[in-house]
């Protein structure tokens, strides 16, 4: 595959000097390479290297970079129907609303569309507050819901410090980590129910009597790909409704087939009061959704709920989201994600059987976490070693994002596009194994 020609021949060193001089910090270090192109499952560097993108960009390019059908939708709408006054609606917005809601369980009946995942979670939290007339919000330890005020207030591992008080009324449940939780049955298995009940008991004592909603991810990606245990989401919904709260499920990364079901809530058999989508819905374009019931929508409208933004229900990104859903359903991409996910998980567990530094492999479908530890018995993190493995994998041609902050636990987050082929998946796994083999300290077992 030849590299795209849009930025062929640029001078990388000079561009990096300009980046250092003119681009401000927003919370992460820049990768060492300038990326000049992307196509399919690959990104291309200015110095001519081709890198297999095992994170779908920022976990977003569900169908790969430059999907021809999506490119054509963007071209057509950029030319003829791009952006409108926020009170105007257009065919692609109506079509996306119809298609999305018809694919979801009853009780998720109406949708509107925004730009980012943080924006959709901000809107969902505000909706819950307006509907219930209460203000306290519960979230899970290790959660990531965005960087706007209320979304950040419900985010418990990174980005909370250095800017004064959070939004009032935020509470945290213990992170549901089957690998590291101290809550155990006598046989050593994870006792998530006792942990969850214990957490709610603490919140009941801390609450001022105004619990409005709980927001949750079915797989905590940014925290290190922790999957909610079977039954957890149903128990969480029961806790919420017993207290007159709404349940919000954030499917920024798990939605639209990523995990082997159209939505992760389908796998759990639980319908939330509000569902938020982003990332995968727009295949890399800024598009998010808030979906709720007829009743919640009606009552919020009566109470003057407002989330009127410049890009609400914009036609161009809505047309892309509509095409993404069309392709996923038409081409049986959910079933493909499920079967390819089994291959991915099996391949990573084979790696775990060969290298003692891999403490845990977890995930579902094409969404996996590989946690690196210094010792399997103590589960002591090995962040520096993990960084060396990740750097070697990148040098060999695979980008697998390492959650290197201490609150993430040193976990590789792997989420290739669901359009990945068997050959591409096998090639990526082989490169990862080579990176483990060539990095000192990975504790080969045979």
Q: Residue 30's domain is classified under what CATH number? A: 3.90.1150.10
In this predicted structure, what is the pLDDT of residue 386? 92
- Kindly report the pTM of this predicted structure: 0.95
Is the domain of 173 the same as that of 316? yes
Residues forming a β-bridge with 248: 215, 274
Below-70 pLDDT ranges, the chain: 403-409
Domain identity same for 196 and 337: no
Exposed, middle or buried by CB within 10 Å (0-12, 13-18, 19+), for 158?
middle
43 with 138, same domain?
Answer: no
Residue for token pair 């759990």: 268
The Cα-based distances of 193 to 197, 199, 363 in angstroms read 6, 10, 20
- Structural domain including 387 reads 12-60+332-438
pLDDT for 409: 64
Tokens matching residue 4? 């795209």
Within its chain, how far is the Cα of 423 from the centroid? 25
Long-range contacts at 19-28 (CB < 8 A, ≥ 24 apart):
27/159
In a domain, 416, yes or no: yes
Residue 445 counted as domain residue: no
For residues 77 and 438, is the Cβ–Cβ distance under 8 A? no
| Cβ-based neighbours of 444, under 8 Å, separated by 6 or more | 354, 355, 356, 437
Q: Classify the phi-psi angles of 89: left when phi > 0, otherwise alpha if psi is within -120 to 50, otherwise beta.
A: beta
The pLDDT score that the predictor gives to residue 31 is 83
Q: Are residues 423 and 306 in the same domain?
A: no
Say whether both 258 and 372 belong to one domain: no
Count the Cβ atoms, other than its own, within 10 Å of residue 241.
12
- In this structure, are 32 and 86 located in the same domain? no
CA 182 to chain centroid, in Å, comes to: 26
Contact indicator for 257, 62 with CB cutoff of 8 Å:
yes
Same domain? 321 vs 413: no
CB atoms closer than 10 angstroms to residue 350: 13
C-alpha span between 85 and 87 (Å, rounded): 6
225 and 266 assigned to the same domain: yes
Q: Are residue 53 and residue 152 in the same domain, yes or no?
A: no
Claim to verify: residue 306 and residue 423 sit in the same structural domain: no
Please report the pLDDT score of residue 158 as a whole number. Answer: 80
Q: What is the pLDDT of residue 408?
A: 60
How many CA atoms within 13 Å lie on the side-chain side of 300?
A: 22
Q: Is residue 4 part of a domain?
A: no
Of the residues 279, 306, 330, the one at which a domain ends:
330
Contact, 162 vs 148, CB < 8 A?
A: no
Task: Choose one of 304, 330, 356: the last residue of a domain.
Answer: 330
Domain assignment of residue 87, yes or no? yes
**Cα–Cα distance list, 63 to 180, 313, 398 (Å):** 33, 22, 18
Task: Please give the pLDDT value at position 227.
Answer: 96
* β-bridge partners, 78: none
Q: Residue 404's Cα: distance from chain center in Å?
A: 17
Check residue 446 and give its pLDDT.
79
pLDDT digits (tens, 9 = 90+) for 351-409: 999 999 999 999 999 999 999 999 999 999 999 999 999 999 999 999 988 765 555 66
| Rounded Cα gap, residues 328 and 333, in angstroms | 5
* Domain-located, residue 443: no
Q: Are residues 149 and 199 in the same domain?
A: yes
- Does any domain span residue 158? yes
Domain boundary among 330, 351, 375: 330
For residue 137, is it within any domain?
yes
For helices 294-302 and 117-132, the axis angle rounded to 10 degrees is 70
Two tokens, residue 170: 């935020």
CATH, residue 207: 3.40.640.10
Count of Cβ atoms closer than 10 Å to residue 305 Cβ? 17
Catalytic residues, by residue number, are 144, 217, 250, 253, 279, 413
Q: What domain count does the chain have?
A: 2
Q: Quick one: pLDDT at residue 116? A: 95
What gap in Å lies between CA 241 and CA 334, rounded to an integer?
Answer: 31
Q: Are residues 215 and 260 in the same domain?
A: yes
Count CB neighbours of 107 within 10 A.
Answer: 15
Neighbours of 223 (CB within 10 A): 26
In angstroms, the CA 319 to CA 314 distance is 9
Give dist(CA 315, CA 420) in Å, integer.
28
Sheet with 246-250, edge to edge strand ranges? 110-114, 288-292, 274-277, 246-250, 211-216, 136-140, 170-173
Q: Is residue 132, in this structure, part of any structural domain at all?
A: yes
Chain centroid to CA 336? 19
């Amino acid at each position: 595959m030849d590299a795209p020609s849009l930025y062929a021949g640029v001078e990388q060193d000079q561009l990096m000097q300009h980046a250092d001089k003119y681009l401000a910090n927003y919370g992460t270090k820049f990768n060492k390479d300038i990326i000049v192109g992307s196509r399919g499952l690959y990104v291309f560097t200015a110095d001519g290297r081709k890198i297999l993108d095992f994170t779908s960009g920022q976990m977003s390019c569900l169908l790969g970079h430059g999907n021809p059908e999506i490119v054509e939708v963007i071209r057509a709408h950029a030319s003829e129907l791009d952006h409108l006054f926020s009170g105007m609606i257009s065919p692609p917005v109506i079509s996306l609303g119809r298609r999305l809601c018809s694919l979801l369980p009853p009780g998720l009946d109406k949708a509107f569309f925004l730009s980012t995942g943080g924006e959709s979670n901000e809107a969902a939290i505000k909706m819950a507050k307006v509907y219930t007339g209460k203000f306290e919000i519960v979230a899970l330890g290790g959660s990531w819901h965005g960087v706007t005020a209320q979304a950040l207030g419900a985010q418990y591992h990174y980005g909370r410090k250095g800017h004064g008080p959070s939004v009032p009324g935020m509470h945290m449940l213990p992170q549901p980590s089957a690998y590291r939780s101290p809550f155990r049955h006598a046989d050593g298995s994870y006792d998530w129910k006792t942990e969850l009940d214990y957490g709610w008991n603490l919140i009941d004592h801390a609450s001022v009597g105004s619990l409005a909603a709980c927001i949750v991810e079915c797989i905590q990606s940014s925290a290190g790909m922790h999957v909610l245990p079977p039954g957890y989401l149903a128990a969480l919904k029961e806790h919420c409704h017993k207290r007159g709260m709404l349940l919000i499920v954030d499917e920024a990364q798990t939605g639209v087939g990523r995990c082997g079901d159209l939505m992760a809530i389908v796998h759990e058999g639980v319908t939330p009061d509000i569902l938020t989508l982003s990332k995968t819905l727009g295949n890399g374009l800024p598009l998010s959704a808030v979906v709720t019931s007829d009743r919640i929508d009606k009552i919020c409208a009566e109470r003057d709920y407002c989330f009127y933004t410049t890009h609400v229900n914009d036609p161009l990104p809505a047309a892309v989201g509509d095409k993404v859903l069309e392709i996923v359903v038409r081409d049986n991409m959910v079933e493909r994600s499920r079967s390819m996910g089994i291959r991915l998980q099996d391949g990573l567990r084979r790696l775990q059987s060969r290298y003692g530094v891999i403490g845990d492999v977890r995930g579902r479908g094409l969404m996996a976490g590989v946690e690196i530890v210094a010792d399997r018995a103590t589960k002591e993190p090995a962040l520096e070693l993990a960084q060396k493995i990740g750097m070697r994998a990148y040098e060999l041609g695979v980008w697998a994002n390492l959650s290197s902050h201490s609150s993430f636990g040193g976990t590789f987050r792997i989420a290739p596009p669901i359009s990945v082929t068997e050959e591409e998946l096998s090639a990526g796994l082989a490169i990862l194994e080579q990176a483990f083999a060539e990095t000192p300290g990975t504790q080969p077992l045979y």
